[in-house]
Homo-oligomer: A and B are copies of this chain.
Amino acid sequence: MDAIANAIAAVPHVRLLDREMDASHNRCVITFVGDRASVAEGALAGARKAVELIDMNAHRGEHPRIGALDVCPFVPVAGVTMDDCVAIARTVGKRIADELGVPVYLYEAAATRPDRKDLPNIRKGEYEGLKRAIGTDPDRRPDFGPARMHPTAGATVVGARPILIAWNVNLATTDVRVAKRIAKAIRESDGGLPAVRAKGFELADRGLVQVSMNMIDYHKTSPLRVFEEIRRLADAEGVAVAESEIVGLVPLDPLIEAATAYFKLATFQRNQILETRLWE
């Protein structure tokens, strides 16, 4: 993992922001920023090192995966559009296939077919299952590279998507069914709010239950909207919202939206925040 992170960080104008390792997942997430050309080079440098070092034939972990570099999403942050990120994803995907001999699937905004928009579809059967299907099932031919797995590095998914907000809201009850009902009511897959994924969990050691969410496009449904909906549903069950927690990074805009609601600000512009003037 050190070798991969160092290879990425060695690319000029790339800055590592975050790195998380989960032992039971046996999986590392590395986050970095840069201009268009630099993030592309950084992703390739990381891919090259991962392909060199990781042997999928010996890999075990709880999280679904198909390759040494399992998935590489490009996320627009500032001064770029989603279309820019799609273009970067396709360029990098082609180079991973051409230069490293790894088959590449394009996903989310970069997908070339509707059934490849969702990552779980591409990962179906994981490394072991895809190894059998890639050469025989026409629906599982990669977008770039050979229709056979790399002998040690497997396959890779590359794409473009909005920034994801991982957010948990904890409710003051020990009845996990409340969290599960609310999660079902708000998640898109059951007819709830757009771009919201949610599950209900028990936090037994804390005497709380949790609505755990991935908000995959906060422009479609904001944290403020979700929070108000959860509070309304919890109220209706006679349960209070105890607290919430943002896991990892969050963009500034959803926080401004919440502060604006709290203070009932009639007109507030992001550029009234001193720091945005210093940093622009």
List residues of A whose CB falls within 8 A of some B CB: 17-18, 33, 77-78, 163, 170, 223-224, 227, 241-246, 248-252, 254-256, 258-259, 261-268, 272-279
Quick one: which of A223, A255, A267, A272 has the most chain B CB within 10 A?
A255
What are the nearest 6 A-B pairs in CB distance? A279-B279, A258-B259, A255-B259, A243-B266, A258-B262, A262-B262
By a CB distance below 8 angstroms, the chain B residues around A278 are 33, 77-78, 279
Contact of A263 among B258, B263, B274 (CB under 8 A): B258
Chain B CB within 10 A, most for which of A18, A241, A273: A273
Closest to A269 in B: B246
A252 touching B275 by the CB < 8 A rule? yes
CB distance from A279 to the nearest CB of B (A): 4
In angstroms, how far is the closest chain B Cβ from the Cβ of A208? 11
Seed contacts A244-B263, A258-B259; 12 additional CB < 8 Å A-B pairs: A17-B277, A77-B278, A78-B275, A227-B263, A245-B268, A246-B265, A246-B272, A250-B273, A252-B274, A254-B259, A255-B256, A259-B259
Cα A278 to Cα B18 with chains together (Å): 12
Q: A261 contacts B262, CB within 8 Å?
A: yes
Which B residues touch A250, using CB under 8 A? Answer: 272-274
- Minimum CB–CB distance from A39 to chain B (whole Å) comes to 13
Inter-chain contact A251/B275, CB cutoff 8 Å: yes
Closest CB in chain B relative to A249 CB, distance in Å: 5
Structural contact, B273 and A251, CB atoms closer than 8 A: yes
Contacts of A243 in B (CB 8 A): 264-266
The answer to whether B255 and A273 have CB atoms under 8 Å apart is yes
User: What residue of chain B has the Cβ atom nearest to residue A18's Cβ?
Assistant: B277
Q: Which residue of B lies closest to A224 (CB)?
A: B262
Contacts A227-B263, A262-B262, A263-B223 given; does A279 touch B268 at CB 8 Å? no
- Give A255's nearest chain B residue, CB to CB: B259
Bound CA–CA A131/B259 (angstroms): 47
- For A258, the chain B residues whose CB sits under 8 A away are 258-259, 262-263
Q: In the bound complex, what is the Cα–Cα distance between A242 and B272 (angstroms)?
A: 21
Q: Can you list 9 A-B pairs with a CB-CB distance of less than 8 A?
A: A77-B274, A163-B274, A243-B266, A244-B265, A245-B265, A250-B273, A252-B275, A275-B276, A275-B279
Residues of B within 8 A of A256 (CB): 255, 259
The answer to whether A266 touches B251 (Cβ under 8 A) is: no
Q: Please state if B267 and A249 are interface contacts (CB–CB under 8 Å).
A: no
CA distance A243 to B268 in the complex (A): 11
Interface centre among A256, A267, A276, A277 (most CB of B within 10 A): A277
Q: Is the pair B249, A273 in contact by a Cβ cutoff of 8 Å?
A: yes
A265 to chain B, nearest CB (A): 6
